[in-house]
Structure 1
């Protein structure tokens, strides 16, 4: 196995383990985003899979497994999935560091799971992309296609929040912050998402030409 595939195998194992570890904690009633009064099991699981962080880690694991097992194919679907996972996990790390980390007061296993999902996986995933590739597989239309994931996720989150009153992140809580504030934050994150996707596209293009 090449060093690149070995690295991606490590990313796949780490991301998978992080998601499973957090799911076990949620199943046992552990805190997510420092909840003080966790709901019943069914609602906890639904909320778990509604977190952008969790979905981003699942996407990273999926893509990393395909690369590690030599199942990565240069198709529009795979390219979009890979770019989406890279941008989503990068945004996850940035948003966590600047917006969520100051709000959290976790300890023990909950603290470890939080750091794995928000810091460790984003770091190794970005390093894997930057150092090992594979290269030359990002196209301009993939950048546009990659925006479908955050748009669908945000639409679902706001719609479910309006129905249930639960929002996975404080800065999206319309009841507490109002639509104007949430719109500003969402726009800022959208700009970040597009910016990271564009950098990944052009960066991949430039490195591919040098190889």
Structure 2
């Protein structure tokens, strides 16, 4: 899996996954907007809510980062031994977010019945919640030219989920639900303090998911340090695959 042929093959797989992800997001967005128009819901709020879901943001980020990885490999990656630091951190970040998306959706949300007209497109739903997370998990293990990151990069990985939770909890009571008309809107029921469990339940879920993100992000960084190339400033052929003496 460290051969040139594997690098080319996985780069093509990354391109295909990025295109499939974009198609899934676009299809679901079009359906959501069309449904909002048909049922007389506020379209602007519907779109804003759509891009407030952690799943949508994670998948959007994933598509961007995968296309970045593809472009980098085609332009420069065939002549170097390790991916650039920025790309490495971005891949570790979206991998963490997508793995968490898959875990949370398939353990907490898959069986929840949504209001009529809010149902996702089946194939798009599976791409965003199952196929994408599985692909990014595989990318952690078999992605080519991976760079070993310092443990400090875990703070960068955690930055987006923290910002998203703050944004979600501040925006929630300021947004009218376009489906039910309630004077609040939260993307996931376990984040809604107006639910029967109230704020104590929200806090428990937030803490639990935060721990899960730390664990998954820590695993992604640890595995990258175990199998990646450690030099942060590696030039072509400067650090060779399998040179464990350079690892941090």
| TM-score of the superposed pair, with normalisation by structure 2 | 0.75
Structure 1: 5+ residue stretches without partners: 31-36
Larger radius of gyration: 2
Q: Confirm or deny that 1:175 pairs with 2:194.
A: yes
Task: Choose which of 151, 160, 166 in structure 1 pairs with 2:162.
Answer: 151
Task: Choose which of 196, 202, 211 in structure 1 pairs with 2:216.
Answer: 196
Aligned to 2:47: 45
Q: Confirm or deny that 1:142 pairs with 2:159.
A: no
Question: Residues 175 and 133 from structure 1, CA distance in 2 versus in 1: closer, same or farther, beyond 3 angstroms?
Answer: farther
Q: Confirm or deny that 1:79 pairs with 2:85.
A: no
Instruction: Name whichever of 41-50 and 4-13 sits farther off.
Output: 4-13
Q: Confirm or deny that 1:88 pairs with 2:97.
A: yes
Compare the two structures and name the one with the higher helix fraction.
1
| Count of residue pairs the alignment pairs up | 204
Please, what is the CA RMSD of the aligned residues?
A: 2.3
Question: Residues 17 and 59 from structure 1, CA distance in 2 versus in 1: closer, same or farther, beyond 3 angstroms?
Answer: same
Question: Residues 38 and 19 from structure 1, CA distance in 2 versus in 1: closer, same or farther, beyond 3 angstroms?
Answer: farther
Q: How far 1:109 moved relative to its partner?
A: 6.5
Question: Residues 173 and 7 from structure 1, CA distance in 2 versus in 1: closer, same or farther, beyond 3 angstroms?
Answer: same
Instruction: Name whichever of 40-49 and 130-139 sits farther off.
Output: 130-139
| TM-score of the superposed pair, with normalisation by structure 1 | 0.88
Structure 2: 5+ residue stretches without partners: 1-6, 78-82, 176-183, 230-240, 243-248
| In 1, Cα distance between equivalents of 2:48 and 2:174 | 14
Q: Is the 8 A contact 2:193 2:199 kept in 1?
A: yes
